[in-house]
Amino acid sequence: MKAKFGDNVVFSRAQNLERVSGQVATIQGVGSKTILLVLITLISALATMFILGPLQVLSAYFIIWIITFVLLMIMSFNPTAARVLAIPYAILEGMTVGAISGVVAIAIPDAGLLIPGLALSITMTIFLGASVLYATGVIRVSGFFRRFMYTLLLGVVITSLVVMIAGFFNSQIYELFYGVNSGIALLISIIMVIISSLYVVISLDNATMIVDAGMDKTFEWYAAFGILLNIIWLYYEVLRLLIILSQRDR
């Protein structure tokens, strides 16, 4: 029986595409490709921090952002392209992660690499924990759960845009929502860590649906790409939370 992709338009489109390789996707295949992409991202991040230099890479951030955005759009609307574009995407995202993490280490010298290192450890712990909870059925992704999370994320995006625009006219508003000594900023950061953690579970469920639907083996790259996206997002949210906690009352 074919799995249903529900409200996920991209996965619904992917289900209707013809097989490319003649082989079907497997959980093991998705897992190995996810590990590969995560390792590539990590190596790229470390190379940026210790070889290329975070400030130098950050100076080209706009160009890197445009390229990664284009790659993201291509893979979103043509999932089979992930088998070619997922690795370049991981390299570029790793450069961004390394640049931002390196700048954090420079900006908070007394903590050094402790904050990025701790953020990485917490991120991987949450990911592994979410994987176990999902695999054992403790957390189940229903249609209602997906709709709720999509609506919640949309609300977060809209609110962030409103706050950003309002912050241009009133710096106190920006400080209230993003300042390191703001209780609201701390609460929002905790909530965002929770939301991004739950989206990791959704990405795992997307991978399961690809496998259950008997889709082509090339879609393993697309599933791994989706999981990588959420791991990186989770890392940024954890990093932001640790920055806020480290700078409070200073």
Q: Where are the domains of the chain?
A: 22-247
Nearest-angstrom CA–CA distance, 125 and 190: 16
Q: Higher model confidence: residue 180 or residue 85?
A: 85
pLDDT in tens, 103-154: 988 888 777 788 999 999 999 999 999 999 998 989 888 888 899 999 988 9
Nearest-angstrom CA–CA distance, 141 and 128: 17
The rounded mean pLDDT for the chain is: 85
DSSP 135-189: HTTSS---HHHHHHHHHHHHHHHHHHHHHHHHHHH-HHHHHHHH-TT-HHHHHHH
What is the b/e burial string over 26-43, where b = at least 16 CB atoms within 10 angstroms of the residue's CB? ebebbbebbebbbebbbe
Q: What global pTM score does this model have?
A: 0.87
Measured from the Cβ of residue 247, the count of other Cβ atoms closer than 10 Å reads 14
Element of type H or E holding 92:
helix 82-107
Tell me which DSSP letter residue 80 carries: G
| 3-state SS class at 216 | strand
pLDDT in tens, 208-221: 999 988 888 999 99
Counted residue by residue, the chain has a size of: 250
pLDDT of residue 183: 77
30 with 217: CB under 8 angstroms?
no
Q: How confident is the model at residue 2 (pLDDT cuts 50, 70, 90)?
A: very low
- CB neighbour class for 170 (10 Å; exposed up to 12, middle 13-18, buried from 19): exposed
pLDDT of residue 4: 41
Average pLDDT over residues 187-191: 90
pLDDT in tens, 50-90: 988 888 888 888 899 999 999 999 998 898 999 999 999 99
Average pLDDT over residues 34-42: 96
CA 195, 197, 198, 204 torsion: positive or negative? positive
